[in-house]
Each structure stands twice: as C-alpha cells, then as structure tokens.
Structure 1
C-alpha cells in the first residue's frame, strides 16, 4: 500500500513539477513532504494507536482477586458483648469468566488497532490528492497570468496601430480609446490572475500550517497530459483501493464485537473462599461459596442480534461504496479523455490558425484593408481559445488526480503527450 501511494506522489509530481532550483522554489514533491510531516490528520493515527494500546492492556486483565475480612457477633449484648463471642472470617473472592470473554475483548481491541494503518493510508491518499489539487490551482493562476501577458502584448500592438492610423488621419480617435480600453481590461485580467495566485499559494501552504508563504511554485505545463491505462484495468485496481480495503478491517471489528456479545450469553461464576475463626471454641473452619446469575442468555440476546445485524449490513455498505466509487471513476475517466481531446484539437488546429489569422489581420489593418473591430475580434478569439485550452487541461488534470485518489495506483501508461501549437 505504501509503495502504491509513493508511486502516486511520483506520478503526479512528474506531470506538474520540475526539480527545485532553490530553497524557496516549491515542487509538488516538496509540498507532499511538508504535508506528511506537519498535517495533524496524519499524526492523529499515532495518538489513536497509543490510546488503543492502553485499551488492549486494560482488556487483557482478568477479574481481580479481592481480599476481605468480616466479623460477626461483636459489640452486642450478653454473650456477644465486646469481642468475647466474635467470629472472624478472612475471604478471597473473584469472578470466573466463562465463554472466552477475555480473548473476545482482546480480539476486539486488536482488530481496531490493525485497522488504524488502513485508515491512515486512506487519509494520506486523500491529503495527497488535496495537495495536488491546491498545487494545480497555483499553476492555473500562473498560466492565466501568462495568457494575460500575451493578451496585453496583442492589445499594445493594437493601440500602436490605432495611433498610427489616427496620426495619418485614417482613423478616428474613438478607435484609439477603444483599443486603450481593451488594453486596460487585459491588464486588469493579469492583476486578477496575480491575486488568484497569491490566494492559491496561501491555500496550499495552509495544509502544513504556513501562514506567510514565500515560496515560488515550480511547475511544468498542465497541457502535457499523459496516456492512461484502459478503464477496465482501472476498475481492477479500484477493488484494491484503501477505501475498499478498510471494509476488511471493519469486518474483523464487527466480527469481534459479535463474538464478544455471544460470550455474554455464558454467565460468569462469582466464587469465594476463606477461613473463619470460631471464638467460642478457638477453632478454625474453611468457608466457600459460589453464585451464578440466571437469565444471562436472554439478556445477551438483544446485543447479539444487534452485532449480527451490523455485520450483515457491512456487505450492503461495501456494495454501495463499490458502486459509488465505480461511478466516480467512470465519470473522472470520461472527463479526462474528453478534456484531453479538447486540449489536443485546440492546440493542433484552432489556436495555430487563429494565430495566423490574427497576424494577417494586423497586416491588413495597418494597410487599411480591414477595420479595427475585425482585428480586435480575432485577438479576443485567440485569447479565448488559449483560455479554453487551459481550462480543458486543468479539467483533465483534476480528473487525473481524482482517478489516482480512487485507485491509489501509478496508472500512467506512457509519457505525457506534448500538445502541438501555441502554449503560454
């Protein structure tokens, strides 16, 4: 299990991160390491194990031996006045547990201890996925800022061209003002991206408790999407995911609870032995007694039925969880393939053609062959296509992270595909 999760971290890191270049440069692997060291949810398992270990020690105790003493016929009247007729008795009492109660108690606590490892691995897998999602949000803001920089460059050329036409008397001042307004909107979009990046960094750093992050995220291109194995193979891995493996541990816990409930149907025996001194004859006698409660089976029956019902429900819960995970995996796999196709087609066909069209429109505008609106519209379409490709790539990466979270497997079937065409 640990090896699979390590492979998960390495796989996602390979898709999004490059080696750190300096102490303040953060890769996805660095983020994973910080969370594993600092996140309280992962440290919680150690504390829970300490608690359960103490409970195991407590459950291992047998009923205690109780030493007692009693005095009869003392401080009365007549022959029983003072201590002259006293009868002193020293006793040793305890409970004889029957039905395997000691072993059942220990088995229940031990099964809870054994399940801690799976619970921690499942929580660790969820945290790795959350780290990857927040890291991806930072990468998204960076790429949005780069797209805004490209758009600003386009708009600056438009403003320059409009001013040139205005000076030549071939264009009104309103065209220059419109171009300057479009440039201001592009600069606003860049400022928003910078703000989103700062917020995303703060959100990421919160996972390991850093309040004032100063790192710079080092990331590759989210447009580089790897090939994945077939859906049928993914479903076979789904059966071994920690979320399903936890049901095996829960089954052992509920079986132990059932066994403990069944032991209550066998009544325990309270026993007592002792020695009594008879004051009148200065003799000693041995005393013994035993008692056993009646109706133990009928009193234990409701608890046994509860434990049996909970154990029977577990299989239904497992089927329900399997169905839910399968549906989520199918949705994530479909979203990934759809987004991957969109990224590829936009990069190979749409964006390059819009780039050539925008360059041609710029030459035509400067020559007076087309209007400003035609050139500006092509610039907007080119920027929109870049944003659409980035959003599709981010959707694919999010789906990829979800598939990894569900399967806990390095499912990549091949290296990342380099999308042709323009990239920020």
Structure 2
C-alpha cells in the first residue's frame, strides 16, 4: 500500500470514503488555477523534509558497504636481538601476515542489520509524505473557508446596503429617525470590514500554502471545492481495521526487524573469532630462513557478549510494548476524529435542512414588514445577523468536519485526493 501511495498519480479514492463533491468556481485569468492535486505535487517535489531521506539513504548505503568488509589483513615486521653485544648478536627478522577468521555469522548479521535500516527508510519517508499531504490539505482548506467567509460577508454587505437605502427613504419620508440611518450605515461598515478581513485571511492562507513548496510570493488562485459537501464515512469498527495499515504502525514492523538484526549481531559476538598469522623468519648470523605461523582464540567471548545480548533482547521486547502503546494512541485519536466528524456533519446537515431556510424566509418577511412599517429596524437587523451567524456557524462546523476527515485519512494512510464532481445546491449558503 505504501508503494501505491508513493506516486501521486496512483492516489485513488479510499474504499471506505465517498469523497466530498466539489464544484469548480471561476478563477482570475491573471493567475494560474491550482487544484489540491497540484498543491500535493508541488509539495512532494520541493519540500526539504522529503529530501532528507535521500541524504540518509546515502549515509546508510555507505554504512552498508563498511559492514560488508571483512576484517583487514595486517602485515608486520619483527626484529629480535637488537640489544645484544655485537659479538654475540644474532639478529632475527620476521615478516608476517595476520588476519581473523570471523565465526558465528558476524558478516551476515552486519549485512542484515545494514539492510534493515535501509529498508526502514521507505515507510518513514511515506509517513512523512502523508503528513505533508495532510498539512497541505489543511492549508488548502483554510483558503477555501476564508473564501467562503468572504462570500458570506459580501452577501451581508449587499443586505446592509439595502438597509441603508431603505432607511434613507423612510427618513426622507419622515417615517424614521436619522439614528436608524446612522445605525444601518455603521452595520454596513462592519460588514465591509468583515469582507476586508476575509480577504487578508485569504492572502495569509495562500502564502502559508505556498510556503510548503518554498515560494511565498507565488501567484495562483485555487480551484475551490464545496466544504459543505461532507461524504458519508464508514463506521468506527471499519476504520479500526484500516488502522492496521497506518504508516505510523507499519514503521514498528521495520523497527522490530532492526531490533531482531541487532540481537542476531549481538549473539554472533558470543562465538569467538580465530586470529591467525603466517610469515618468514630470517636469521642473520647463519643465513637460515624458516616459516612461522600461529593462531589466537580470545577467552571469555560468550560472557562478554551477554550484556549486549540482553540489551538487544530488551530493545526487541520494548518495540512490542511501544507498538501496543502507539496502537492505543492512534485508536484514541481515530475515535476522537471520527466522533468530531460525525457531530460536525450532523450540525451542518441540521443547519442546512431546518435552520437556514427558516431564517432566510424570516429575513425576507421582516424586510417586507419593515418597509411597510410593521416591524422595527432592530428586528429586521437582528434577523439578518442571525442568518449570517448561522451561515458562519455552518461553515465553522464544515471546516471542523473536513479537518477531522483529513485526520482520518492521515491515520489510515488512505488517499487525500478530493474527486471533482457537481456540487449539491445549497439554499442556505451565500450566493
């Protein structure tokens, strides 16, 4: 699965998710359009956190080459009897070559450990890549949400502008005081302030996203999706089964294999190596030449290896405990994200189905009644505020749900790609 996720082109919709439907919106012609997939590709190509693994691979490759080397041969020269009197001196010169016969599978154990460390890089890199994709999706979502906030604020400005026009007409006709006009103008100015604030949030979120690929001044417009279109997700029991393939848990498999390789290497040290030497000895006095040889075996190798063996065995046992602790932590995080998503999804649906349509009708009715003099400006304004607040509440809930969905996908190692589709109509949202 990790290899499948490694290529962005191979990212596919996760079987447990029906991805949120999205609708492209017009973008400015002076800036290129950027989809979420485009952002993924830029981050995957440019983020230095992923390039670190290439450097680590070079280091581990060099260490593997060193681990495959056998003990070096040693050439030696030995001269004896240099301190005797000249009359009795019999200088002997020995040229020797010495080495070590490794026993106990030390070479294979070193090779296995070096290879396990190299193999562990792939899951680590994939886990880091998925974390980056999740962060990219969150920052992309910030732009989408800020854009929606600006749209709600602009709708509010349009409504407040109608308030001001109507208040002026009533003031000119003597049906209301100047205070009503001033209050309506103040409310209009506040709504315009929200538009400007949302615009700054969009710029900040766009710069934050572009920083992930190292270009904070990049000019682009996102292809906006519909944050209110929340997919149905599998129940918690189904997601727990997918958690077994979480990149964070899969890394424990590699850590376990590394610990096993360390244990095997420690056990190989209990078998003593045999040192050998061979050479030629020359006696200067009589000109004789002879062959010499010998071997050495260290004593107590098994006892000296026991501390390292116990340490490696304890490390292996510790990996199992850490895996269990990590699994429980991930399950708790999964349960929290799953619950947050379901609660936020229900809140979005309830506001869409029951609250916003009624507030929209009430605001329209109060506007007509105020123009007819049946209600006060305060009642009309309060209804408009309530509708705008409900729209913002719905957007906040949708943002919380989308963040929880991103976290669910990150935990399970599933795709973060949002498939484009036609958005469902939203009668309560801002046009």
**Fold-level similarity (TM above 0.5):** yes
C-alpha distance 118-80 of structure 1, shift in aligned 2 (>3 A): farther
- Does 2:254 correspond to 1:253? no
What pairs up with 1:178-189 in 2 under 5 angstroms? 178-189=183-194
Higher relative contact order (CA 8 A, sep 6+): 2
Residue 306 in structure 1 maps to residue 307 in structure 2: no
Moved more, 288-297 or 374-383: 288-297
Q: Of the candidates 205, 230, 235, which is equivalent to residue 210 of structure 2?
A: 205
Q: How many residues align?
A: 421
- Correspondence for 1:129: 134
Contact 2:134/2:416 (CA < 8 Å) preserved in 1? no
In the alignment, the residues of structure 2 paired with residue 167 and residue 20 of structure 1 have an alpha-carbon distance, to the nearest angstrom, of: 41
User: Which has the larger displacement, 177-186 or 40-49?
Assistant: 40-49
Mapping of residues 104-143 of structure 1, within 5 Å: 104-143=109-148
* 3-state secondary structure, aligned to 1:209: coil
* CA shift for structure 1 position 9: 6.9
Residues 153 and 191, structure 2, Cα contact 8 Å, conserved in 1: yes
Distance 1:273 1:15, change over 3 A: farther
- C-alpha separation in 1, matches of 2:416 and 2:353: 26
8 Å contact from structure 1 (residues 277, 285) kept in 2: yes
Q: 1:418 aligns with which of 391, 406, 424?
A: 424
1:79 aligns with 2:84: no
- Label 1:417 to 1:30 Cα distance change in 2 as closer, same or farther (>3 A): closer
Query: Quick one: structure 1 residues 410 and 207, their matched pair in 2 at CA, closer, same or farther if it must change by over 3 Å?
Result: closer
Report if aligned partners of 1:234, 1:411 keep a CA contact under 8 Å in 2: no
Instruction: Note the alpha carbon deviations across 1:105-128, whole angstroms, 9 max, x for none.
Output: 111110001111111111111111
| CA distance in structure 2 between the aligned counterparts of 1:263 and 1:88, rounded to whole angstroms | 37
Aligned counterparts of 1:198 and 1:300: Cα–Cα separation in 2 = 62
Listed as ranges, the gaps of 5+ residues in structure 2 are: none
Give the stretch that moved more between structures: 1-10 or 268-277.
1-10
8 Å CA contact 1:20–1:27 kept in 2: the answer is no
Q: Secondary structure at the match of 2:126?
A: helix
- Check 1:319–1:227 CA distance in 2 against 1; reply closer, same or farther (3 A cut): same
Q: Would you say the 8 A contact 1:227–1:417 is kept in 2? A: no
Asked if structure 1 preserves the Cα contact closer than 8 Å seen for 2:20 and 2:229, the reply is no
For the 8 Å contact 1:145–1:193, the answer to whether it is kept is yes
Task: Provide the C-alpha distance between the structure 2 equivalents of 1:116 and 1:411, rounded to a whole number of angstroms.
Answer: 22
**Deviation at 1:327?**
1.1
Deviates more, 1:268-277 or 1:30-39: 268-277
**Match of 2:87, SS?**
helix
Deviation at 1:74, TM superposition (A): 3.6
**Cα distance change on mapping 1:20 and 1:122 into 2, 3 Å:** farther
Task: Say if 1:128 and 1:156 are closer, same or farther in 2 by CA, change over 3 A.
Answer: same
Matched, 1:51 2:59: yes
- Normalised by the length of structure 2, the TM-score is 0.92
8 Å contact 1:224–1:416 — kept in the other structure? no
| Kept in 2: contact 1:101–1:263 (CA 8 A) | yes
**Structure 2 counterpart of 1:39:** 47
Equivalent residues of 1:340, 1:393 under 8 A apart: yes
User: What is the CA distance between 1:305 and its match in structure 2?
Assistant: 1.0
CA distance 1:252–1:18, shift in 2 (3 Å): farther
Within 2, Cα distance between the matches of 1:252 and 1:19?
A: 50
Structure 1 segment 389-400 matched on structure 2, within 5 A: 389-400=394-405
Assess if the C-alpha contact under 8 Å between 1:325 and 1:406 holds in 2: yes
TM-score after normalising by structure 1: 0.94
Q: Distance in 1 between matches of 2:404 and 2:319?
A: 29
> Is contact 2:22–2:423 with CA below 8 Å preserved after alignment?
no
Match status 1:64 vs 2:72: yes
* 8 Å Cα contact 2:150-2:195 kept in structure 1: yes
Shift of 1:99: 1.4
Question: Are 1:153 and 2:158 matched, yes or no?
Answer: yes
Aligned partners of 2:152 and 2:388 also within 8 Å: yes
- Of Structure 1 and Structure 2, the greater helix share is in 1
